[in-house]
Structures are given as structure tokens and as C-alpha cells.
Chains A and B, each alone.
Chain A
Amino acid sequence: MKRSFMLVFLTVLIVAVTGFAATPKDTLVIGSNTGIFITMDPAVAYEVLPNKIVAACYAQLVNLKAIDGVIVPVPDIAESWEISEDGLTYIFYIRQGVKFSNGDPLTAEDVLFSLKRPILLDSVSAWFLVDIFGINKDNVDEKIKQIDENTITITLNAPYAENITLGILSNMFTGIVNKDVVLANEVNGDLGTAWLADHSAGAGPYVLVQWERNNVILLEANPNYYGSQPPLKRIMIRDVPEASNQRLFLERGDIDVAWDLTPQLLTEAKKNPNVVEVKVPGHSNEYLAMNASWGPLKDPKVREAVRYSINYKEIVEDIMLNNAMLVQGFINKGYFGYVEENPFYQDIEKAKALLAEAGYPNGFEVELITSNTDTRKAEAEKIQADLAKAGIKVNLVIVQSSQMYEKYRAQGHQMIIAGWGNDYPDPDNLAMSHASYRANQLAWRNAWYDDYAATLCEWGQIEPNQDKREQIYKDLTEYWFHNGPFAMLYQTVEFWGIRKEVKNFEEAAFGYGMLFDFTKVSK
């Protein structure tokens, strides 16, 4: 590893022009705030950009592909699979002849080890397996078994729809790691997680060569990749914490992709002929949530009044500068079960009438908490001004995101602006979190203890018939619109500023933010 690393940089050194000219032809340079990254271990990684890096370095049991606008699970290491009659057991047939980046062959044993690892590590993303599928440390050995040298079976605790199961299994934590290399680097029983934080031992198109924290992450093409060699030999992610700096570097040509621009910075950067804007529908949403157990917000009429006070159009157009989609249901556009309807708009008279009906003719005072990013602060100030028109006096409390979640999880908030990023591309993930308090997720946090909605969610989870399932989600959304504790602001749009030399970046980025296929990008 060391030798190739030296080789790579020596070539780069020779070919390197001074820092001020354009980036080399065979390398994609991304500028991003890497300060917030925690680890690159597939079993543990849980953030947006790191997940995409892990996806580039590791082949997975099952992968996702965007086929004509809809995300569908596709074979990867599991060449094919079957489901038992009772829908509880999935049998996966492992692809033969695949090699890891260091040349070792990828066997079913590696797959077994990789699937068990997150559970044994109590890792962050393990809750999918533990809390949804009911596979925990005690029963992991009989739930995940190796039948023969190319078959693996996984048994679930309930007959989930195929889309849900495969959606969950396409997450990062099923990245296949090279068992021998990982165990060789194990440190006092940590299953190699410290080593994997900044090294890679996978079979994906790229290899994690170096991660100097707060400075640079370098990926290099994997010579032994079983698929076709990617057009770009190297991906380099430079740490540029300040959004306005990312824009300067982009316009000067020192970076090819600015990852964290604000809408305003992108609008300005677009004026430069060398800069192109790329927009792709995202998979998360942004909402205003109301604690249904606090004061006036207990009354659904008051919640409805709040929903009619907000000017959603202005938020999308003036705050997000059209880098967002006006979607007011909780199921994302591009997902099965999406409901086209957007019933709410700013109608101050109606809001005031509803407030009067509920017994608050001259409004009330409420505290709105949110995290301290530029966009969230802008949204908070906008909503504060909108609600003021309906007589609701909003006091803002802008804190670190860690403190916001602390209060949110303890149901200690009154109003909050936050967002939800999907874990797997199925309406179940959104329904359970936004509508069922029994899932201990967002609905529970906002103290919306509604059994009707919770039951609907559970039906939708196991309903085999697609049309019936769609109707369930339609009824749930209708009900949720007018009784839920949420005012959905928008569905996110992923947007980047890139150099015009970077080709088919949009194809690589399409995937509702769940995917980013580096192998498609070229220069």
C-alpha cells in the first residue's frame, strides 16, 4: 500500500502544475466541509458524503440503481436471490470470481462476516437490523447463516414487502469487507473499526488511499475491480469549511465540485462562464414540527392555523432560490405512494379565523428551536415573520444541532425546524417515522399519539398487493395533512456548482441523494 501511495504522488508531483492552475485531467477535486465526517467504516458510516465515499470503496450485497426516475434494488455481490413462502427468509447467491482491491478473492465467508459485523459492533446503522428486522447479538448466528460456499440466508422477524427489505439491505452497512485484512488490523477486539475509519478493504471501484482529517481524503481507482475501470483515476476531497471559500476556489478552478454551497452563493457563482449548476431531486425533506402536547398546539385547529400562516412559495423561491421542490406530503416525490397534492398556502384571514375558533383570537407566544446553519436560520426568520402576520409571536432559539436533537428527542421543544433523510427508498421509512408514534421516531417526538395513523402505517408495511398499499398511503397522507403535527416546507434538491470541464456529473448524482456513482463522472 505504502509503495503505491508514494508512486501515485510522485507522478502527481511531476505532472503537478502550481496550485493556481486547473486541476489535473485524471482527478476529480471536490471541495467540502469534511470537518463533520466521523468514519469511513461501512458498518459505522452514517453521514451524507461519507456514505457516498463508502459506496465507492465497497461492493454491497444489494445495490440501488435509478432506472427511469425510480430507484430499484439491483444485484451486486448477490447475483440473484429468492424469498421463502412465508416471506421471512431471503436466500442470496454470491457472485463468483470477484476480487478485493488487494487481490484476495471475495467469498461467502467475507459476506457473512460483513453482515454480522455492524450488529456485533453495536454500530450506529445497526438499528435497522436490530430494531426493524429483530436480529440482535444473541440470535445473529441463526438469523444470518452461510449454507454453502456461495449462498447466504437472512431470516427476518416479519414478512416485510420485498422493496423494504432490499431497500434496507442496500444501505452502507452491507458493504463487504475483506475479513482477513480487517481481523489482521483488529485492535483490542474492535473488529478493525479503528483501522477501517481511514482505510478501505473492499471490492468497490475505488480504494481509500489517505484521509488526513480536516485536510484531504484521497480515493484511487481499484485495479482489481470486477466492473469496468472508472474514467477518473483519482477522487480528491479537500476540506474547505467556509462555503464562500468553496465558491472562490470553484471560480478560480482549484476545485472541480463545490459540495456545500448556499443557494445564494450558487446563484452568484453561476454568473461565471466556467461554472455550471447541477440540480438533482433530493431524498430528504425540511419541516416545521409542533409539539402536540404543548399548550395551544394541542388543538389541531391551531396546528392547521400555523400551516395556513406560512408562505411556502416564498420559502422555496426566495430562501432556497428554487433549490427545493414544493412537496407538502411526507412521502418523497419519486417514491412509490407519492401523493401529488399540496393543500396549504398562506391565507392569513383563514389562519386568524381558525385561531379565534380555537380560543386564541389574538394569537399566542411560542418558542421555535432550530440548528445553526445559514439555511435553517434563514427559514426560521422567514417563518417568524410569517407567523407574526397571523398574530403568533415566535421567539427563536438557534443552537448547535447536537443540542437541538437533545431537546427534540426529549419532546422538550414547542416548535422546531428540522429535516428527515430517508434510510431506504420505500414509503414505509417515511410513514413509520412521520405518522406512527409506536416507531419512537418523529411522530413520537412531537407527541402525536394517533392510533389510527399508527395502525395504517403497520398495514402499509406488510401489505403485499401494490394497489392496496398505494391506497393505504393515500388515506394516511390525507389524514396526516390536517391532523398531523407537521407543516412540511419542501423536499430537498441536491445542488452543486461544478466546473464546465466535468462531464455527466448529473447522471452520476441522480438518485434522490441516496446514490452518487463516481464511476460515471469524467473530465
Chain B
Amino acid sequence: MNFGQFLLRRLFLMIIVLFGVACIVFFIANIIPADPVGAILGGNAPPEAINRLKAKLGYDQPLIIRFGNFIAGALRGDFGVSLKTSNPVMKDIMNYFPATMELAIVAIIISIFLGITLGVLSAVHRNKAIDQFSRIFSILGVSMPVFWIGLLLLLVFYFKLGWLPGGGRLGFFTYPPPRVTGMYLIDSALAGQWDTFKEALLHILLPAFVLGYNATASIARITRASMLDVLKQDFIRTAKSKGLKRNVVIYRHALRNSMIPTITIIGLVFGGLLEGAVLTETVFSWPGLGRYITTGMLFLDYPAVMGGTLYIAFIYSLANLIVDILYALLDPRMRM
């Protein structure tokens, strides 16, 4: 089963998984005992106005037809029109998703860098100060709710110290860079606007750290465990017997081997990030897909919630596929 077949099989599986997710999403959206039209019209609207709008939006068609339209649309990338913003959901997603993606990418970079360093240090200096610190740090990461940590850091770094900005993607009066990818860091770099880049970076640090905190904790734990495992292997003893310096043994030999289980965790953890965005974006007023779905949830804006969730599931599966490919590249034993 060469690489091509491996890829094909995985893509096929991904489509099935996404189809399953679409069914779950559609099932949930239509079973919730509340009608979206009422939500849009607000409290005061009389029943007649509601029924008129319901008919107009085709909510009175039987379930099966609506499901068929939804799936057909999803394949074409058209999730219908959002009840709230009244533009096609896909347009909204394209508008909001880069913000979430940028946040997730910076978060994953921070958590990989921090997570692996902490993991390696605590494995190499087992049960010493750094090990205890990193375990407490990861325990805190797993035990405190995201919004609590977010508010606390905002309070300290923005309100009391004023080192970092309060929220949002850019300063209130900075002009967003010309849109290429929708990610301000990349767009401003491409356009050479370095002060906007600096400002975007300052704005993304805190939310990315908070979003990535949980991921950092998990990566640190896994790296530590797999590092301890690898350091016990025979080939480490061989490397030492070749008189290689300690750091060379750790970073050239041990680290590369312990990367393999860590990579798989990064795939899983990335999923957690996309979903953690829902809370982090609210706390840091970050106009991303997470908030689009939550506000959609508040308004039972079915098309938006269905489209957004399906899109996140798609990105999650894609990320996992990439991780598996990385896994194969890193571990020669996997390459048949």
C-alpha cells in the first residue's frame, strides 16, 4: 500500500466522516425545540409576522427535502443564507474563518514551542524544580476555565500593566492591511506594513497564549512521557558510547524519536483549539468563526451554525490528515 493509496483511503474516510458530521449537525439543528424565525423577529412580533417569514424562508418544507438541499449545497460549498447576516453563509465563513485560523496557528506554534521545551526539560531534569514547575503549569492549564484565565491575564497585562492591548485584532484606529489571506500578520507582512504587523502581533499574543494554554499542557505531558521512554532505549546508550555530548544525544537522537507520539497529539489538540476559540474569541472580542457560531447558536441561525460547524469539522479532519502525513515522513518505519 504505497503512499498514493494511503492518501486515497484517508481522503475517502474523511468524506464519510464529514458526511456523518453533516447528518449530526442537521439532526441537532432541526430537533432543537425552538424556531429560528421567532428569534430573528424578537419578542414583540405577533404570530402572523412569524408565519409569513417562515414560509418565505422555506421552513415549512418537510425535513427530508431540506436535508437533501443542505447536503447538495454543502458539496457545492453553499450552506444557504444566514438568517442573521442575510448573506451566504460561505461568504461569512470566508470572512470570519481567517481570524480563527490565524489565532489557532499562532496558538499551536506557541503551544508546540512551549510544550516541547517544557516536556524535554522536565524529562531530562526529572523530579527537579523544572519538572515540578512544568507539571503544575500543565495541571493549571487543564484545570482553570479558559475564560477565567483569559480575564485574569487581560486584567494583569492590559488593565494593570498596560503592556498588551485589550482585545480585538488591531488597535481601534489602525487600518487593516490589504486582504490577501485575511490573516493580518501575513497580509501586513506581504504589504510591508511593519507597524501594523507589530500591532497585530501584540494583539494576538494574549488570546493565542490563552487558547493554546490547554494545548501546551497536553503537549508538555506527552513529550515528557515519550522523552522518558526514549531515553531508556538502547540506541541512546549507543550514542553515549560514541562519546557524543549530552545535548547532542538529547536533541539529535532522543528528541527526534520522541516527536512521533507528540505529532499525533498535535493533530488532536488542533481540534481542541478550533473549538476552544468559541470561548477565547468572546473574551478577547476576536471576530472569528467561533463567535459567529455562538451568536448563531443564540439566534438559532441554523444555516450559520450548520455551515460553521461543518467547516470546522472539515478543517479538523484536514489537520489530522496532514498530521498523519507528517507522521509517515518522520517515522521511516511507517513508510512501507
Contact = CB atoms under 8 A, between A and B. Distances in A.
A and B touch in the complex (CB under 8 A): yes
Interface of A: 9-10, 12-13, 16, 18-20, 23-24, 29, 35-36, 38-39, 46-47, 122, 124, 126-127, 130-131, 193-194, 197, 212-216, 236, 238-242, 244-245, 248-249, 251-252, 254, 400-403, 405-406, 408-409, 418-421, 423, 433, 439-441
Interface of B: 32-36, 38-50, 52-53, 56, 84-87, 92, 95-96, 151, 154-155, 158-159, 162, 165-169, 171-175, 199, 282-283, 285, 287, 291-292, 294-295, 297-300
A254 B48 CA distance: 44
Contact of A244 (B35, B43, B151, B171): B151
Contacts of A418: 43
20 contacts: A12-B175, A23-B172, A35-B298, A36-B298, A38-B40, A124-B45, A127-B45, A127-B48, A214-B287, A214-B292, A215-B168, A238-B172, A245-B154, A245-B166, A248-B159, A403-B300, A406-B39, A408-B43, A418-B43, A440-B46
Given A402-B298, A423-B44, A440-B47, A242 B52 contact: no
Given A127-B45, A214-B292, A420-B44, A249 B39 contact: no
B235 to A, nearest CB: 52
B183 to A, nearest CB: 15
B212 to A, nearest CB: 20
B163 to A, nearest CB: 9
B174 A16 contact: yes
A124 B50 CA distance: 9
A194 B49 CA distance: 20
A213 B288 CA distance: 10
Contact of B155 (A122, A127, A131, A248): A248
Contacts of A254: 166, 172
A418 B56 CA distance: 28
Nearest to A17: B173
Nearest to A423: B44
B305 to A, nearest CB: 12
B34 A238 contact: no
Contacts of A12: 173, 175
A236 B171 CA distance: 13
Contacts of B84: 38
B172 A252 contact: no
Given A248-B166, A409-B47, A19 B171 contact: yes
Given A400-B298, A401-B298, A249 B44 contact: no
Contact of A420 (B43, B154, B285): B43
A218 B168 CA distance: 15
A12 B174 CA distance: 8
Contact of A214 (B38, B47, B151, B291): B291
B275 to A, nearest CB: 18
Given A242-B282, A242-B283, A441 B86 contact: no
Nearest to A236: B172
A405 B175 contact: no
A36 B297 contact: no
A18 B171 contact: yes
A117 B52 CA distance: 16
A215 B287 contact: yes
A122 B53 contact: yes
Closest 9 CB pairs of A and B: A402-B39, A19-B171, A214-B287, A403-B34, A16-B173, A406-B34, A35-B295, A215-B287, A127-B49
Contacts of A400: 34, 39, 297-298, 300
B167 A240 contact: yes
B39 A405 contact: yes
A16 B95 CA distance: 26
A29 B154 contact: no
Contacts of B42: 46-47, 124, 405
